[in-house]
Amino acid sequence: MANKPNWRAIKIHRSYTVDEASRALGVCKPTVRRWLKSGKLPVIDSQRPALILGSELIAFLNVRRKPKQRLRIDQCLCFSCKVPRSAAGRMAELVHASVSTFNVCMLCEACER
């Protein structure tokens, strides 16, 4: 199963059962049922099988998405802290990855990794 649900696989004007939604998104059926049980993902009515509107499913997934982190020019993403940090000692190193690409390596100012 996928780490992130693929919301682009959902059609706006279609209704989905729990099974169809889980297959389209690439998540488990219990995950979709948990979303329904929390009340954050609405169903069409209380009848069985539970039907979910495609537009409601897309809106629910868009609310769940994390906003992209913007980095300043002097920052890198620390993999240990998982937040943007400046370099310790304001020093960074360029490492050749291939003929045309480079990697930037620096130590985190907070955790020094």
Q: Give domain limits for the chain.
A: 7-64, 69-113
CATH class of the 7-64 domain in this structure:
mainly alpha
Calpha distance 63→54 (Å, rounded): 14
Residue 92: the pLDDT is: 87
What are 22-55's pLDDT values in tens digits?
999 999 999 999 999 999 999 998 888 899 999 9
- The answer, yes or no, to whether residue 107 has pLDDT greater than 80, is yes
Calpha distance 79→48 (Å, rounded): 45
- The answer, yes or no, to whether residue 1 has pLDDT greater than 80, is no
What are 2-26's pLDDT values in tens digits?
467 888 889 999 999 999 999 999 9
